[in-house]
Amino acid sequence: MNDITTAPVPKYETLLLTRKGRLLTITINRPESFNAVNLKLHEELAEVFVFAAADHCSDVIVLTGAGKAFSAGGDISHISNNASHPELFDEEVRLAKRIVFSQLDLDKPLICRMNGHAVGLGASLALFCDIIYAADHAKIGDPHVNVGLVAGDGGAIIWPQRIGLCRSKEFLLTGELLNAKDAANIGLINAAVPADELDAKVDALCEKLLTGAQTAIRSTKVLLNMETKRIAHALMDTGLAYEALTVRSADHREAVAAMKEKRAPVFGRK
């Protein structure tokens, strides 16, 4: 019988897959850009959870980031390109939907090892995981509004599911980032621990899950995700349509220009 630790995994440009027994780790692997999401990463994220679901050699999946960040959100060059050519965003809508639904459809436990900041889409990737353990220096938030966009690619779905509508409105309407300790205190994530304790915390959880009753664990996750999936099906198309409108807005173009010029944006321009 082949050693499952050496069972082949797909090769990606922006993701690194590794095995340890029946644990599969997916690492967002653009450390030079703080794991910001460009078109290639969008494409590969839309594929990797489909692979993980079908992978017969794993029972638990960990999602983490290489280097200092979990994911800094949208890559500035990618955001700028979409602002100049909004039809490109329209083509990415299918990718955004596949990322969200492939995370929700994955019946294996999906654990987020949030080793650093998780921002925008990076925050959504973390929050659509089942359990999130973060290094206590990390921050998390969805500042779509701060670049003139609607959080239509998942934020408006998952934040209320985790912390309720009242608090979600505060954070999604302001784009404010929370430190990991505050995020844990309000139930947005599960725990914030010192960075040098993060691996031990994640490893202990994974070991507990790996030695558990796999059919019961997977079926329980499927049951728990049913309401979130219902909400995602109800909101995703509308959310992405609103985001597509704001990609075409003067406020978004101003936000992109401000980022390039390293200044504060001035919104409300016609």
Question: Given this model, what pLDDT does residue 269 score?
Answer: 57
- Look at residue 135 and tell me if it is in a domain: yes
Please give the structure tokens belonging to residue 42: 């969008």
Q: For residue 107, which of 49, 44, 165 has the smallest C-alpha distance?
A: 49
- Look at residue 89 and tell me if it is in a domain: yes
Question: Given this model, what pLDDT does residue 242 score?
Answer: 97
Question: Given this model, what pLDDT does residue 86 score?
Answer: 87
Report the alpha-carbon distance of residue 24 to residue 225 in Å, rounded: 21
Report the alpha-carbon distance of residue 233 to residue 238 in Å, rounded: 10
10-residue mean pLDDT profile of the chain (270 residues): values are: 76 98 98 96 98 98 98 90 88 94 98 98 98 98 97 97 98 98 98 98 98 98 98 97 96 95 87
Phi, psi of 71 (to 5 degrees): -165, 130
CB 60 within 8 A of CB 206: yes
Question: Given this model, what pLDDT does residue 91 score?
Answer: 85
Question: Given this model, what pLDDT does residue 270 score?
Answer: 52
Measured in residues, the chain has a length of 270
DSSP at 74: B
- Look at residue 246 and tell me if it is in a domain: yes
CATH of the domain at 105: 3.90.226.10
Question: Given this model, what pLDDT does residue 1 score?
Answer: 39
- Look at residue 28 and tell me if it is in a domain: yes
Structural domain range at position 192 = 4-261
Question: Given this model, what pLDDT does residue 83 score?
Answer: 86
Question: Given this model, what pLDDT does residue 232 score?
Answer: 98
- Look at residue 269 and tell me if it is in a domain: no
- Total tally of structural domains belonging to the chain: 1
- Look at residue 267 and tell me if it is in a domain: no
- Look at residue 80 and tell me if it is in a domain: yes
CB 114 within 8 A of CB 140: yes
- Look at residue 145 and tell me if it is in a domain: yes
Question: Given this model, what pLDDT does residue 76 score?
Answer: 87
